[in-house]
């Protein structure tokens, strides 16, 4: 077996982690961000590299042999912040728990230890991986040694092989040292030659090979200024090179055999993680760790005959279904935990029991559940209408922190310190190996889950109160889960014949286009392969390369569109892509998932996923059915009412996000515009371009529309420049002018960012929160992104709140009025119903009324609606 050595630059990685992550605190107020980042990195390395040997090297003390050469080496460097210093002991302890060797050496830096050991390892036939945040280490790269340098954060790395260095700099690894000697390194206070930067250094080295050879041939150097500098600073350059050279002969007294990695002491790790408050990392430890810890015996009773006395007023109730599509999956078992005891109910027993059904449908018997909607829908397939599910742990967790909400009950439990239940993956396995274990194991697992539900409710409910989010939970998300359950269970009818005909037509058109493309290309290839397509377009046909992805040429639509005038093949390819998308995703995709007996599709709305509070939709995703291009829009002709002579009735909010913005920001002009029901894009164009209504050109309006779009989605100047195909500078100016035009909005944007920095989160009108820790990041990108998130989330999230409220109100209103109309879908700002003809007139009044009055804002909400025999016609 081959030997694999991993060498980690401990100080460098700790620094990286510290600066990449916000200052986390554990319960005792100890800073833990560097330890956390370090741990993440370690876990990743261990998993990906699977080393046989491993060592973490640290710098020892303040001075090294390099200071003898140059006393100002690393001078001017900022002192290590105390918040980081205090974390080193924990990192050391962590490494001990992992059973990973550590080493430091008086007078030497971690670099030198790593350099020395990697040289030794090469001689002994190891494959070595060096991990650092310091690019200096790349000089160690060789055919046996790969150097990984962290790029941003701590887990994103760039891999330096000799080939990669050649490609990136045109140099060999050894020449990296020469480059450093010439250009210096501000961070280490290595002077180099003034006026020589990376570009010049590379040029010189490509020509002369090394610093020494360059110095020998100084007279040949072109450019007087450069030559003078090189002459003047010759000694300084040579010294700089010396400083930058890693010592590969350090007097280390440790042997490679001592670095053998035998695995972590899991119990120590679990203990440490708990102390440090790394609950989320506990999850990532080997599953057998969570199996062994603190799992006290679970006493439970298996129920063979359901009797009233196993029920109480408040019950933890867990419904287990293994597959994720609960519309088609079987229930695997139930568990109930309450003050009377712990019970496991086999599926057959429960479903055959009248007592069970009666209890499940009893509103007054409260159930604490995990994923209410999932439980409701699956029970309904067995004729049981779950009632009294008053606390959904998954939804509560999501509301408390939508970004961190795990998708497994055990993980939520762990997050809150309850280590009494295993992960589903540990019990059922994952992927192809997922299966139901023997019944006692299953029973115990389910009972534990029901048990932890009860414990979690207590904790989560308190947290909801503390955050002033209880109302959002109990009056919005909980009732909404019932509405969504109805929608999903009801499903949407498809005209499968229509779908099939469209498929046939597209198929033949695709074949035609394919022939044309092959003719134009002069050969056959897979058009769907970006790789092959790239070769054809940019190598064979020699079209100009505008953009590259990390694996090759970019062939995305925006790139291709710019090439359209250069070759006839482009248009065909874009056409092929568009039709291919319709065929594979929509026609075939829907055909795959439609219920063959009922011709209905039953989507699942994920109510606990997005960071903003929007819903998402899967299997099929009915929130991205084409509409923009007529060609694709025709897909909507296949969406029809499920009953004869009914219609599809669609109602959408007009500019809900911008209206919300007007309200939140309290911007006079924006409020005024909406009160007067103006065309908001025209209005914005008037403001931004300082023109009258009549002078707004279609191009101005288009630009204004894109800026409004940008505000709603929180895109950057770069994003705006992409969508308008203008420069980033121009895009930035547009945004600035927008903010000048709407001073209230500008003020809001400034305030919300300040607020987010102070509180660490932002919130919506109905108190939905989103935590934005990166808002204090030192990294410009992370911080900018966080700032845009802070500005955008209250807008988009409040809009999501409002339509959710409208859905609940709508369901209630339909019930009150005894209408047969059914709500089928929600697509972020629109609701789609199916309705009998004779209810249309009522709906025309009720739907806008309910939707527009879902909340009271400083501006009116406006709803447009339409209806027709198919979804296509409801436009």
Partner DNA sequence: GAGTTCACGC
Partner DNA sequence: GACGTACGTGAACTCA
Residues 495-532, buried b or exposed e (16+ Cβ, 10 A)? beebbeebbeebeeebeebeebbbebbeeeeebeebee
591 binds DNA (CB under 7 A): no
> What does the CA dihedral 270, 274, 276, 278 come to, rounded to 10 degrees?
80
- What is residue 91's three-state secondary structure? helix
Stretch that binds DNA, among 200-208, 588-596, 693-701, 857-865 (CB under 7 A): 588-596
Three-state DSSP class for 25? strand
Which residues on adjacent β-strands are paired with residue 391? 368
Least Å distance, CB 114 to DNA, is 25
Q: Identify which of residues 365 and 555 has a Cβ nearer to DNA in the complex.
A: 555
Q: Interface with DNA includes 589 (CB under 7 A)? A: yes
Give, for 833, the enclosing helix (H) or strand (E): strand 830-836
Q: How far is the CB of 388 from DNA (least distance, A)?
A: 28
CA distances from 26 to 154, 226, 275, 762 (A): 20, 54, 8, 22
Cα separation of 160 and 71, whole Å? 31
Near DNA by CB under 7 A, which window of 130-138, 583-591, 660-668, 841-849? 583-591
Strand partners, 830: 652
Q: Which is nearer to DNA, 577 or 822 (CB)?
A: 577
Q: CA 518, 523, 525 angle in degrees (round to 5)? A: 75
Cβ atoms of 214 and 208 closer than 8 Å: yes
Site for DNA (CB under 7 A): which residue of 52, 578, 654, 776? 578
- Beta-bridge mates of residue 158: 149
Q: Contact region for DNA (CB under 7 A) — 15-23, 340-348, 527-535, 839-847? A: 527-535
| Interactions with DNA, residue window 606-625 (CB under 7 A) | 606, 609-612, 616-621, 623-625
329 lines the binding site for DNA (CB under 7 A): no
Residues 402-406: contacts with CB under 8 Å, at least 24 apart? 402/608, 402/609, 402/610, 402/611, 402/612, 402/613, 402/768, 402/769, 402/770, 403/611, 403/770, 403/771, 404/280, 404/771, 405/608, 406/280, 406/283
Closest CB to DNA among 713 and 865? 713
Report the nearest approach of DNA to the CB of residue 99 (Å).
26
Q: How far apart are the first and last CA of the chain?
A: 66
Query: Which residues pair with residue 369 across a beta bridge?
Result: 392
Measured distance CA(266)–CA(281) in Å, rounded: 12
588 lines the binding site for DNA (CB under 7 A): yes
Tokens of 389: 């599910």
Under the binding rule (CB under 7 A), the answer on residue 28 touching DNA is no
Torsion angle of alpha carbons 235, 236, 237, 242, nearest 10°? Answer: 90
Q: Which is nearer to DNA, 670 or 795 (CB)?
A: 795
Least spacing, CB of residue 576 vs DNA, in Å: 9
> Binding DNA by CB under 7 A: which of 236, 401, 554, 654?
554
- For tokens 């590259």, name the residue: 548
* CA-only gyration radius of the chain, Å: 32
From the list 518, 713, 771, 865, which residue makes contact with DNA (rule: CB under 7 A)? 713
Least distance from DNA to the Cβ atom of residue 448, Å: 25
Residue numbers 52-91 binding DNA by CB under 7 A: none
Rule CB under 7 A: say whether 549 interacts with DNA.
yes
Is 118 or 789 the residue whose CB approaches DNA more closely? 789
Residue with Cβ nearer DNA (8 or 157): 157
Report the residue number, 100 or 131, with the smaller CB distance to DNA.
131
Which stretch in 296-304, 488-496, 742-750, 778-786 sits in contact with DNA by CB under 7 A? Answer: 778-786
DSSP string, 713-768: HT--HHHHHHHHT--HHHHHHHHHHHHHH-HHHHHHHHHHHHHHHHHSEEE-TT--
Phi, psi of 715 (to 5 degrees): -80, 165
Closest CB to DNA among residues 353, 401:
401
Q: Round to whole Å and give the CA distance between 511 and 516.
A: 9
Q: Which listed range, 285-293, 413-421, 715-723, 746-754, lies at the site for DNA (CB under 7 A)?
A: 715-723
Which of 50, 68, 151, 568 is the binder for DNA (CB under 7 A)? 151
Nearer to DNA by C-beta: 153 or 744?
153
Does 429 contact DNA by CB under 7 A? no
Burial zone of 173 (CB within 10 Å; 0-12 exposed, 13-18 middle, 19+ buried): buried
Least Å distance between CB 480 and DNA?
17
Q: What size, in residues, is the chain?
A: 875
Q: Which of 627, 678, 726, 855 binds DNA (CB under 7 A)?
A: 627
Q: Is 432 an interacting residue with respect to DNA (CB under 7 A)?
A: yes
Query: Is residue 660 a contact partner of residue 766, using CB atoms and an 8 Å limit?
Result: no
| CB 785, min distance to DNA, A | 7
Interface residue with DNA, options 12, 141, 716, 798 (CB under 7 A): 716
- Provide the 8-state DSSP code for 770: E
514 binds DNA (CB under 7 A): no
Give least dist CB 618 to DNA, A.
Answer: 4
Contacts of 216 (CB under 8 A, 6+ apart): none
Q: In angstroms, what is the minimal distance from the CB of 545 to DNA?
A: 12
Residue from 66, 374, 448, 577 touching DNA (CB under 7 A): that is 577
Judged by CB under 7 A, which stretch of 179-187, 414-422, 707-715, 808-816 contacts DNA? 707-715
| HSE of 40, CA atoms in CB hemisphere, 13 A | 21
CB of 554 to DNA, least distance (A): 5
**Pattern of binders to DNA over 822-841, x per CB under 7 A?**
-----xxxx-----------
Alpha carbons 624 and 106: distance in angstroms, whole number: 62
Q: Cβ of residue 231: shortest distance to DNA, in angstroms? A: 27
Among residues 50, 68, 77, 152, the one that binds DNA under rule CB under 7 A: 152
Whether the Cβ atoms of residue 7 and residue 118 lie closer than 8 Å to each other: yes
Q: What residues between 783 and 802 interact with DNA by CB under 7 A? A: 784-785, 788, 792
The 634-673 site mask, x for binding DNA (CB under 7 A), equals ----------------------------------------
Q: What CA–CA distances, in Å, run from 451 to 101, 342, 437, 456, 636? A: 41, 8, 20, 9, 46
Judged by CB under 7 A, the stretch of 104-112, 258-266, 369-377, 581-589 that binds DNA is 581-589
Is the distance from CB of 588 to CB of 499 less than 8 angstroms?
no
* Residue count, binding to DNA (CB under 7 A): 67
- Least spacing, CB of residue 244 vs DNA, in Å: 20
Supply the minimum distance, in Å, between the C-beta of residue 723 and DNA. Answer: 8
Could you tell me which stretch among 68-76, 103-111, 214-222, 626-634 binds DNA (CB under 7 A)? 626-634
When the beta carbons of 129 and 577 are compared against DNA, the nearer one is 577
Residue numbers at the binding site for DNA (CB under 7 A): 151-152, 156, 431-432, 526, 528-532, 549-552, 554-557, 560, 574, 577-578, 581, 584-585, 588-589, 592, 606, 609-612, 616-621, 623-629, 632-633, 713-716, 718-719, 728, 779-781, 784-785, 788, 792, 827-830
């Amino acid at each position: 077996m081959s030997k694999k050595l991993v060498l980690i630059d401990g100080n460098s990685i700790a620094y990286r982690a510290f600066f990449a992550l916000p200052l986390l605190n554990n319960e005792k107020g100890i800073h833990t961000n560097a330890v956390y980042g370090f741990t993440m990195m370690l876990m990743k390395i261990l998993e990906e590299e699977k080393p046989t040997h491993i060592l973490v090297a640290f710098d020892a003390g303040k001075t090294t042999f390099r200071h003898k050469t140059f006393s100002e080496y690393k001078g001017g460097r900022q002192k290590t912040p105390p918040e980081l210093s205090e974390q080193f002991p924990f990192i050391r302890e962590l490494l001990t728990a992992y059973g990973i060797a550590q080493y430091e050496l008086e007078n030497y830096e971690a670099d030198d230890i790593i350099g020395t050991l990697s040289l030794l390892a090469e001689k002994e036939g190891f494959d070595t991986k060096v991990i650092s945040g310091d690019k200096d280490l790349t000089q160690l790269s060789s055919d046996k040694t790969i150097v990984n340098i962290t790029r941003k954060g701590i887990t994103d790395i760039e891999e330096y092989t000799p080939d990669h260095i050649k490609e990136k700099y045109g140099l060999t690894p050894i020449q990296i040292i020469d480059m450093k000697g010439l250009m210096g390194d501000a961070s280490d206070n290595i002077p180099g030659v003034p006026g020589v930067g990376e570009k010049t250094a590379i040029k010189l080295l490509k020509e002369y090979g090394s610093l020494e050879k360059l110095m020998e041939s100084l007279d040949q150097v072109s450019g007087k200024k450069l030559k003078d500098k090189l002459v003047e600073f010759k000694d300084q350059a040579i010294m700089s090179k010396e400083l930058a050279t890693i010592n590969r002969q350090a007097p280390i007294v440790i042997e490679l055999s001592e670095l053998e990695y035998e695995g972590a002491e899991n119990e120590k790790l679990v203990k440490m993680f708990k102390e440090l408050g790394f609950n989320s990392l506990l999850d990532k430890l080997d599953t057998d760790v969570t199996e062994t810890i603190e799992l006290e015996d679970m006493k439970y009773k298996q129920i063979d005959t359901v009797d009233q006395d196993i029920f109480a007023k408040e019950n933890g109730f867990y419904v287990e279904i293994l597959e994720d599509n609960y519309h088609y999956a079987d229930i695997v078992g139930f568990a109930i935990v309450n003050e009377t005891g712990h019970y496991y109910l086999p599926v057959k027993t429960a479903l055959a029991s009248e007592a069970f059904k009666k209890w499940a449908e009893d509103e007054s018997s409260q159930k604490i559940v995990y994923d209410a909607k999932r439980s409701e829908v699956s029970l309904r397939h067995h004729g049981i209408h779950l009632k009294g599910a008053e606390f959904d742990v998954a939804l509560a967790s999501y509301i408390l922190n939508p970004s961190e909400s795990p998708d497994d009950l055990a993980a939520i439990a762990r997050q809150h310190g309850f280590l009494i239940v295993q992960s589903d993956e540990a019990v059922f396995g994952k992927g192809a190996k997922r299966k139901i274990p023997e019944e006692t194991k299953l029973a115990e697992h389910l009972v534990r889950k029901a048990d932890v539900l009860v414990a979690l409710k207590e904790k989560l409910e308190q947290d909801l109160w503390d955050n002033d989010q209880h109302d959002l939970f109990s009056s919005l998300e909980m009732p909404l889960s019932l509405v969504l359950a109805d929608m999903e269970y009801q499903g949407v009818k498809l005209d499968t014949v229509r779908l099939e005909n469209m498929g046939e037509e597209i198929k033949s058109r695709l074949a035609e286009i394919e022939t044309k493309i092959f003719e134009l290309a002069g050969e056959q290839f897979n058009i769907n392969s970006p790789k092959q397509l790239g070769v054809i377009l940019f190598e064979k046909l020699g079209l100009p390369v505008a953009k590259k992805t990390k694996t090759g040429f970019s062939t995305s639509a925006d790139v291709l569109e710019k090439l359209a005038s250069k070759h006839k093949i482009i248009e065909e390819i874009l056409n092929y892509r568009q039709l291919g998308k319709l065929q594979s995703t929509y026609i075939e995709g829907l055909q795959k998932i439609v219920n063959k007996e009922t011709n209905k599709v039953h989507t699942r709305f994920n109510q606990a996923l997005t960071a903003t509070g929007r819903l998402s939709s899967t299997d099929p995703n009915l929130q991205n059915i084409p509409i923009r291009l007529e060609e694709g829009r025709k897909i909507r002709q296949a969406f029809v009412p499920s009953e004869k002579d009914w219609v599809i009735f669609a109602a959408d909010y007009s500019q809900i996000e911008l209206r919300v913005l007007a309200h939140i920001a309290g911007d006079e002009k924006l409020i005024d515009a909406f009160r007067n029901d103006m065309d908001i894009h025209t209005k914005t164009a008037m403001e931004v371009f300082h023109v009258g209504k009549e002078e707004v050109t279609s191009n101005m309006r288009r630009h204004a529309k894109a800026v409004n779009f940008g505000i709603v989605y929180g895109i950057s100047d770069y994003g705006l420049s992409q969508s308008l195909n203008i420069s980033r500078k121009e895009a930035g100016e547009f945004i600035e002018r927008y903010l000048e035009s709407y001073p209230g909005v500008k003020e809001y944007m400034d305030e919300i960012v300040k607020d987010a920095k102070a509180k660490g989160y932002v919130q919506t009108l109905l108190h939905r929160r989103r935590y934005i820790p990166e808002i204090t990041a030192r990294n410009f990108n992370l911080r900018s992104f966080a700032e845009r998130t802070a500005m955008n989330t209250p807008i988009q999230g409040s809009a999501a709140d409002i339509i959710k409220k409208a859905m609940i109100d709508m369901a209630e209103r339909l019930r009150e009025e005894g209408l047969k109309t059914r709500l089928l879908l929600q697509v972020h700002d629109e609701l789609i119903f199916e309705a009998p003809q004779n209810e249309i007139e009522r709906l025309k009044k009720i739907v806008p009324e309910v939707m527009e009055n879902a909340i009271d804002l400083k501006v009116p909400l406006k709803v447009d609606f339409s209806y027709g025999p198919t979804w296509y016609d409801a436009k």
